Structure 1
Amino acid sequence: MSINIKEYEEKNKEQIINLILPIQQDEYAIPITEADQPDLLDIYSYYIKEGGNFWTATISNEVVGTISFLKVEDGVLALRKMFVKKEYRGSRYNIAARLLEYALEWAKGNEFDVIYLGTTNEFKAAHRFYEKNHFQEVTKSDLPSSFPIVHVDRKFYRRKLN
């Protein structure tokens, strides 16, 4: 089974939405809709065109994971849309770690210095994952003023790259 990580392709938009929404709504009962996430409807304009990027992990052309960086300001990124299909989580496939490593290499290569992220209180495994990968919890007031806070996010992290 081959896991491929590649930059966003428009042909995968529907698969991306169909991966993310059920995790948010069904698995974690987070009250967020597709309409609350306009970035999902125009990934290229929201992430890539503005200086960030978006990646998918696929197995046999099925999107099983996503990660993105939104450029917040010079040198600063927001990690967004990190999701892995339930059946592919954990150390057996290491998809989350592979996605993060791939994205971090891109960030370093594009001269970004720091990454922030916001997450919900419900994503306990994600908290452990971020902490294991050198993200440090910060307060909301530690975020750059330009950081886009999603209304369901209650926990925030930062990772310095250099």
Structure 2
Amino acid sequence: MNTLPVITELNNSYCNQIIDIILPIQQIEFNVPVTLEGQPDLLDIETNYHQTGGNFWGATYNKQLVGTIALIGISDNAGALRKMFVRKEYRGKELGIAQLLLDNLIDYCRQNNINAIYLGTVEVLKAAHRFYEKNGFTRIEKQHLPQSFPLMPADNIFYELHLSN
């Protein structure tokens, strides 16, 4: 049995597994008022992520998809971090899955000349705020987001990270 998490690129063949991770965390664990209908990007990973210059990754542990992270390419060498979720029982420093996912996304950005990453999140996800801040993200006001940033209706807290080469 493999005991190390593995990060791999995901495509449309993973849509159902991705949805099975994300929706319960949003709706049940954190009571965020979002539905699958409000997130049509989850039904077409390749168009909404790959074709923008971004990507979608998953963390597998013992052959089970346990976490996700995605990047949408937006204008001016920038990207929007989306869909960062890890199943509750796989969170924490012991496995470091969230850190592996974020490090993978940042490496991709550096390799693809994306030098600014923006993200939106919700007030209730306090651990996520701490995680992003620990990784160098700084909180910004909504009006300071790039015009091309894809807003999600539930998001009310925003962050940015500028990468140096």
* 1:146 and 2:148 aligned: yes
Offset at residue 146 of structure 1 (A) = 1.0
Equivalent-residue separation in structure 2 for 1:48 and 1:91 (angstroms): 29
Count of residue pairs the alignment pairs up: 162
Find the counterpart in structure 2 of residue 117 from structure 1.
119
Equivalent position amino acid for 1:51 in 2: G
Deviations 1:35-63 (A, max 9, x none): 00000000111000121111000012211
> Comparing 44-53 with 8-17, which one deviates more in the overlay?
8-17
Deviations 1:101-140 (A, max 9, x none): 0110010000011000000001000000000000000000
Find the counterpart in structure 2 of residue 128 from structure 1.
130
Find the counterpart in structure 2 of residue 28 from structure 1.
30
- Work out which of the residue numbers 75, 78, 86 in structure 1 matches 2:77: 75
Equivalent-residue separation in structure 2 for 1:46 and 1:31 (angstroms): 22
Equivalent-residue separation in structure 2 for 1:116 and 1:9 (angstroms): 22
TM-score (norm 1): 0.98
Equivalent position amino acid for 2:35 in 1: T
Which ranges in structure 2 are unaligned for 5 or more consecutive residues? none
Offset at residue 13 of structure 1 (A) = 1.6
Find the counterpart in structure 2 of residue 157 from structure 1.
159
1:1-150 to 2 correspondence within 5 Å? 1-150=3-152
Which ranges in structure 1 are unaligned for 5 or more consecutive residues? none
Equivalent-residue separation in structure 1 for 2:76 and 2:162 (angstroms): 14
Offset at residue 71 of structure 1 (A) = 0.7
Offset at residue 72 of structure 1 (A) = 1.1
Deviations 1:130-160 (A, max 9, x none): 0000000000011011111100000000000
Q: Are the aligned partners of 1:12 and 1:63 in contact in 2 as well (CA < 8 Å)? A: no
Offset at residue 30 of structure 1 (A) = 0.8
Q: Are the aligned partners of 1:15 and 1:62 in contact in 2 as well (CA < 8 Å)? A: no
Equivalent-residue separation in structure 2 for 1:10 and 1:150 (angstroms): 21
Q: Are the aligned partners of 2:12 and 2:43 in contact in 1 as well (CA < 8 Å)? A: no
Q: Are the aligned partners of 2:137 and 2:159 in contact in 1 as well (CA < 8 Å)? A: yes
Equivalent-residue separation in structure 2 for 1:9 and 1:155 (angstroms): 28
